[in-house]
A and B are shown apart, each in its own frame.
Chain A
Amino acid sequence: MPNAASSHAPDLDRLIAWAMIDVGVAFVLAQLLLAALIWKSREKSTSTSWPRTVRIAVVVSVLFISLELFSAATLGRRAWGSMFSSASTASTVRAQVMGQQFAYYFRYPGPDGQFGPIHVDKIDPSIGNYFGLDGRNDVASRDDVVSASLVLPVNQPVELMLNSQDVIHSFYVRELRVQQDMVPGMQIPVRFTPTRVGKYEIACTQLCGLGHYRMRAYVEVVSQNDFHKWMQEHER
Chain B
Amino acid sequence: MSPEIQLRAAQQTKGFLRTYIFSTDHKIIGLQYFFLSLFAVLAGMALSWLMRINVAWSGVRIFGLELVSPTGAPGGVMTPEYYLSLMTLHGTIMIFFVLTLAPQNAFGNYLLPLQIGAKETAFPVLNMLSFWTTLLAFLVLLASFFVKDGPPISGWTAYPPMSAVGNDAGPGLGTGQNLWLISIGLLCIASVTSSINFMVTFIDMRCQGMSLLRAPLTCWAWFITSILSLLSFAVLLAAVVLLFLDRNAGTSFFVPANLLVSGKIVPHSGGSPLLWQHLFWFFGHPEVYITILPGFGIVSHVLACFSRKSILGYRLILGCMLAIGFLSFVVWGHHMFVSGMSPFSGFLFSIPTIIISFPSMIITLLWLGTLWGGRLQFNTAMMFCLGFISTFVAGGLGGILLAHPAVDSYLHATYFVVGHFHMVMGVSAVFAIFAAIYFWYPKMFGRMLNERLGQVHFGLTFLGVYCIFMPMHLLGMTGNPRRYAILSDDFLIGLIPLHRFITIAALITGAVQVLFLVNLFWSMYKGEQASLNPWNATSLEWTTSSPPLNGNSSELPVVNHGAYEYGPASSGRDFVMQSDPAGMKEIE
Residues of B contacting A44 in the complex (Cβ-Cβ under 8 angstroms): 375
B389 at the interface (CB under 8 A from A): yes
Residues of A contacting B225 in the complex (Cβ-Cβ under 8 angstroms): none
In the complex where A38-B371, A54-B366, A183-B339 touch, is A208 in contact with B162 (Cβ < 8 A)? Answer: yes
Chain B, 408-425, CB within 8 A of any chain A CB: 409-410, 412-414
B1 at the interface (CB under 8 A from A): no
In the complex where A19-B401, A179-B412, A207-B84 touch, is A214 in contact with B312 (Cβ < 8 A)? Answer: no
Chain B, 370-389, CB within 8 A of any chain A CB: 371-376, 386, 389
Residues of B contacting A16 in the complex (Cβ-Cβ under 8 angstroms): 401, 407, 410
B445 at the interface (CB under 8 A from A): no
Residues of A contacting B265 in the complex (Cβ-Cβ under 8 angstroms): 120-121
Contact between chains at A210 and B400 (CB < 8 Å):
no
Residues of A contacting B414 in the complex (Cβ-Cβ under 8 angstroms): 205
Query: What distance in Å separates the Cβ of A60 from its nearest Cβ neighbour in chain B?
Result: 6
B213 at the interface (CB under 8 A from A): no
Chain B, 486-525, CB within 8 A of any chain A CB: 486-489, 491
Contact between chains at A201 and B491 (CB < 8 Å):
yes
**Interface readout for A4-19 with B: 1 if CB under 8 Å, 0 if not?**
0000000110011001
A60 to B258, CA, bound (A): 54
**Interface readout for A193-230 with B: 1 if CB under 8 Å, 0 if not?**
00000000101111111111110100000000000000
In the complex where A80-B343, A180-B340 touch, is A185 in contact with B273 (Cβ < 8 A)? Answer: yes
Query: What distance in Å separates the Cβ of A52 from its nearest Cβ neighbour in chain B?
Result: 9
Residues of B contacting A15 in the complex (Cβ-Cβ under 8 angstroms): 404, 406-407
Q: Which of A22-30, A89-97, A137-145, A149-157 contacts B (4 or more CB under 8 A)?
A: A22-30
B288 at the interface (CB under 8 A from A): no
Of the residues A30, A34, A118, A170, contact of B413 by C-beta under 8 Å: A170
Contact between chains at A72 and B409 (CB < 8 Å):
no
Contact between chains at B485 and A212 (CB < 8 Å):
yes
Contact between chains at B372 and A20 (CB < 8 Å):
no
A1 at the interface (CB under 8 A from B): yes
In the complex where A27-B397, A72-B354, A84-B343 touch, is A216 in contact with B478 (Cβ < 8 A)? Answer: no
In the complex where A53-B366, A205-B481 touch, is A19 in contact with B161 (Cβ < 8 A)? Answer: no
B126 at the interface (CB under 8 A from A): no
**Interface readout for B417-456 with A: 1 if CB under 8 Å, 0 if not?**
0000000000000000000000000000000000000000
Contact between chains at A120 and B260 (CB < 8 Å):
yes
Residues of A in contact (CB 8 Å), total 81
Of the residues B340, B374, B390, B477, contact of A183 by C-beta under 8 Å: B340
Query: What distance in Å separates the Cβ of A80 from its nearest Cβ neighbour in chain B?
Result: 4
Residues of A contacting B409 in the complex (Cβ-Cβ under 8 angstroms): 12, 80, 83, 177-180
Chain B, 331-365, CB within 8 A of any chain A CB: 338-340, 343, 346-347, 350-351, 354-355, 357-358, 361-362, 364-365
Contact between chains at B386 and A1 (CB < 8 Å):
no
Residues of A contacting B375 in the complex (Cβ-Cβ under 8 angstroms): 41, 44, 46
In the complex where A84-B343, A184-B161 touch, is A207 in contact with B371 (Cβ < 8 A)? Answer: no
Chain A, 70-97, CB within 8 A of any chain B CB: 72, 76-77, 79-80, 83-84
User: Which interface residue of B355, B404, B414, B567 has the most chain A CB atoms within 10 A?
Assistant: B404
Among residues of B, the one whose C-beta sits closest to the C-beta of A50 is B372
Residues of B contacting A65 in the complex (Cβ-Cβ under 8 angstroms): 354-355, 357-358, 361
Query: What distance in Å separates the Cβ of A105 from its nearest Cβ neighbour in chain B?
Result: 12
User: Which interface residue of A12, A31, A53, A211 has the most chain B CB atoms within 10 A?
Assistant: A53
B565 at the interface (CB under 8 A from A): no
Contact between chains at B372 and A37 (CB < 8 Å):
yes
Residues of B contacting A33 in the complex (Cβ-Cβ under 8 angstroms): 368
Contact between chains at A184 and B346 (CB < 8 Å):
no
Among residues of A, the one whose C-beta sits closest to the C-beta of B372 is A50
Contact between chains at A214 and B340 (CB < 8 Å):
no
